[in-house]
């Protein structure tokens, strides 16, 4: 069952989190831009590294089942993850990413909706220099991905009022030169008691034009 993020906080100590190696398996609906994928991986890895996670990128299609990771996440990318210059822009609020939840447990299966990100960022989608457009889009994909990985790695539906863990990100957030997690997000989630943390989160990881 896919919910837009309803679940409970899993108690994780900083010791468990620090230096944790995470295998993130990517599964693209359509061939993705290499430039956008590289920018996405850098953006997400940088954000998670600041929280003590070391991400190893893998493709689902190339998985031989012979690697072991402390944590493993599978991420499906819908739509075309590249600047193609034809998706109609919108100012609607769109769902950019989701993570699976079952029986109150956050599962390690997420989705990033590339077409929706492209529709919110016409400056990149219609960039004259396609490579620059892909870099900008890739960075935005990476921010959506980092948000979903936060839910999975923390086992939480918690959202914050600032940074990458916000439930709704503006197009300025997605486009800005730097946008990371608010440093209070992770310690709060790690030390929350179950009663205060057990709650239903609003639909998550959406974006809205300013
Ligand atoms: Zn969320």
The pLDDT value given to residue 206: 56
The pLDDT value given to residue 137: 98
Give CA–CA dist 126/119, Å, rounded.
10
Centre of ligand 1 from the C-alpha of residue 204, in Å: 4
pLDDT truncated to tens, each residue of the chain (210 aa)?
342 321 122 233 344 455 688 999 999 999 899 999 999 999 999 999 988 899 999 999 988 888 889 899 999 999 999 999 999 999 999 999 999 999 989 999 999 999 999 999 999 999 999 999 999 999 999 999 999 999 999 999 989 989 999 999 999 999 999 999 987 777 544 443 333 222 233 344 555 443
Q: Where are the domains of the chain?
A: 6-208
Centre of ligand 1 from the C-alpha of residue 128, in Å: 32
Q: What are the distances in angstroms from CA 164 to CA 42, 127, 204?
A: 15, 25, 11
Helix, strand and coil in the chain, % to nearest 5: 35, 25, 40
The domain 6-208: what is its CATH number? 3.40.390
| pLDDT digits 0-9 by tens, 52-82 | 899 999 999 988 888 889 899 999 999 999 9
Centre of ligand 1 from the C-alpha of residue 174, in Å: 15
Centre of ligand 1 from the C-alpha of residue 33, in Å: 25
CA atoms lying within 13 Å on the CB side of residue 210? 8
Tokens of 16: 């468990």
């Amino acid at each position: 069952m896919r919910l837009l993020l309803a679940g409970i906080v899993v108690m994780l100590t900083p010791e468990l989190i620090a230096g944790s190696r995470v295998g993130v398996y990517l599964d693209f609906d359509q061939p993705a831009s290499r430039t956008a994928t590289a920018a996405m991986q850098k953006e997400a890895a940088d954000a998670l590294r600041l929280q003590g996670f070391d991400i190893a990128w893998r493709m689902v299609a190339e998985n031989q089942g012979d690697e072991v990771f402390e944590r493993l996440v599978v991420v499906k990318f819908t739509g075309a993850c590249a600047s193609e210059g034809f998706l109609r822009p919108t100012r609607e609020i769109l769902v950019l990413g989701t993570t699976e939840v079952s029986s109150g447990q956050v599962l390690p299966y997420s989705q990033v909706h590339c077409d929706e990100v492209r529709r919110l960022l016409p400056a990149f989608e219609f960039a004259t220099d396609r490579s620059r457009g892909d870099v900008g889009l890739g960075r935005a994909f990476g921010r959506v991905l980092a948000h979903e990985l936060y839910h999975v790695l923390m086992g939480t539906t918690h959202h914050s009022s600032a940074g990458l863990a916000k439930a709704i990100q503006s197009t300025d957030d997605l486009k800005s030169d730097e946008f990371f997690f608010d440093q209070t997000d992770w310690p709060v989630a790690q030390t929350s008691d179950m009663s205060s943390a057990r709650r239903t989160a609003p639909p998550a990881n959406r974006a809205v034009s300013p």
